[in-house]
């Protein structure tokens, strides 16, 4: 079955986390991406929040050479 579909730019592209969020925000903008208790975010909101976080990290001098981790502290 795999051999029936050849790879081209229409049906095959490599996704990074950033390009995935870009595509998801464009394709599913108002659909729910995250639910945490009573709080939910759309793909568009998730994309915007990620861009804001990336901007804040850049302003702090943190670049792609760094590894950033996060802990869920409940809210």
Task: Supply the pTM of this predicted model.
Answer: 0.72
In a domain, 70, yes or no: no
Strand ranges in the chain using DSSP code E only, listed in sequence order: 32-36, 39-42
Q: What is the DSSP letter of 65?
A: T
In a domain, 73, yes or no: no
Domain that holds residue 33: 17-57
In a domain, 25, yes or no: yes
In a domain, 22, yes or no: yes
Which residue in 47, 58, 1, 55 sits closest to 21, CA to CA? 47
Is residue 49 a contact partner of residue 34, using CB atoms and an 8 Å limit? no
64-75 confidence digits (pLDDT tens): 899 988 877 665
Number of domains in the chain: 1
In a domain, 11, yes or no: no
Q: What pLDDT does 70 receive?
A: 81
In a domain, 65, yes or no: no
In a domain, 68, yes or no: no
Q: What pLDDT does 72 receive?
A: 72
Biggest CA–CA distance in the chain, Å, is 49
Which residue in 66, 69, 65, 27 sits closest to 46, CA to CA? 27
In a domain, 67, yes or no: no
């Amino acid at each position: 079955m795999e051999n029936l579909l050849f790879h081209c730019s229409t049906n095959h592209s490599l996704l990074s986390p950033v390009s995935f969020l870009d595509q998801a925000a464009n394709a599913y903008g108002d659909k729910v991406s995250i639910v945490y208790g009573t709080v939910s975010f759309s793909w568009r909101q998730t994309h915007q929040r990620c861009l804001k976080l990336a901007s804040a990290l850049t302003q702090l001098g943190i670049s792609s050479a760094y590894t950033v981790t996060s802990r869920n502290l409940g809210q």
